[in-house]
Amino acid sequence: MPKPILFVTRRLPASIEALAVQDYDARLTPSDVAIDDLIARAEGADAILCCPGDVLDAKAIAALPASVKVIGTFSVGYDHVDVAAAKARGIKVCNTPDVLSVATAECAMLLIMGAARRAGEGERLVRSGKWQGWAPTQLLGTQVSDRRLGIFGMGRIGREIARMARGFNMEIHYRDMARLPVELEHGAIFHDNDDSFLPLCQVLSLNAPGSEGTRHWLNADRIAKLPPGAVVVNAARGTLVDDDALIAALRSGQIAAAGLDVYNNEPHLNPDYLTLENVMLLPHLGSATTETRDAMGRIVLSGIGAILAGQTPTNLVA
């Protein structure tokens, strides 16, 4: 029996590409960047393994060949795939849940520490050759230990951030649609409204999924409710942030510093961020560890295989 045809839109870790070749008639792509002819390359494929930068909206899904039965995304988020359009065509969608929470939480903590302690500015200063040595007032930042941390979106990643932040003796507050079971809170304080939540957030971490309901959640009105000099980080989805509002707050000092790993329209981030010293910018590194990317590849390939075999995998989105 011939192997099912799997079209892979981007380069994957070598071990995952080898697994794909082993289990599928794999059409690999030797590039890290999005390809222009995704629809044409999918001709005859039984499944597509895509990535967050591949926009599979309703128009793209309508244009997919009839052979496509599964879309697997190399990510836990799937807002780049129009799931309703896929479902209407009878195409199943699966993702990579559970395996990237720790890595992404580590990245969020890196952003918190880097932004609060002005690590990006310090690194640039040393590299520029202009550093003149230690000085009492040089690059004074904000202490993270014993601060109040607000987490917007207390899912698996948010809870991992809370676990790590307790090591810095941070007081954890969180905002979500519903309160967690007490055994998952570990002392974190739930808020069901912005007015009680935001004024407490000396550090605010955005960890909600991207959707129309959370689009530009961090806007000018909510920023105004943060305490002066707050630190904001985003390792979730760029769409959570109103860029113009955040940039204005960074310029005015209402927000002391920000750390961003994700962006609206990435990789084409708002160029005004590049003019600001008080923002730490990373190139979407949240899940970028060898262990995590291997685990992501294995779970999405397993999900694709199960769906093609008529089974229902645990990572089925719809």
Continuous H helices in the chain: 14-23, 38-41, 58-63, 83-88, 101-116, 119-128, 156-165, 182-185, 194-197, 220-225, 243-252, 290-308
Count Cβ atoms below 10 Å from residue 225 Cβ, excluding itself. 15
Secondary structure letter of residue 81 according to DSSP: B
Count CA atoms within 13 Å of residue 293 on its CB side.
Answer: 14
Count Cβ atoms below 10 Å from residue 93 Cβ, excluding itself. 24
CA-to-CA separations, 212 to 44, 209, 217, 254, 285, in angstroms, rounded:
33, 10, 10, 26, 24
> Tokens at residue 265, please?
């329209």
User: What is the Cα–Cα distance from 81 to 216, expressed in whole angstroms?
Assistant: 19
191 belongs to the catalytic site: no
284 belongs to the catalytic site: yes
CB neighbours of 119 closer than 8 A, spacing ≥ 6? 113, 280
268 belongs to the catalytic site: no
Query: Out of 10, 118, 237, 293, which one is annotated catalytic?
Result: 237
User: What is the Cα–Cα distance from 244 to 288, expressed in whole angstroms?
Assistant: 28
Query: Out of 284, 291, 293, 298, which one is annotated catalytic?
Result: 284
* Nearest one of 220, 205, 156 to 184, comparing CA atoms: 156
Query: Out of 17, 43, 171, 266, which one is annotated catalytic?
Result: 266
- Ramachandran category for residue 284: left, alpha or beta (phi over 0 → left; psi -120 to 50 → alpha): left
| 39-55 per-residue burial string, b: 16 or more CB within 10 A, e: under 16 | bebbeebbbbbbbbebe
Helix, strand, coil in percent for the chain, rounding step 5? 35, 15, 45
Which of the residues are catalytic? 237, 266, 284
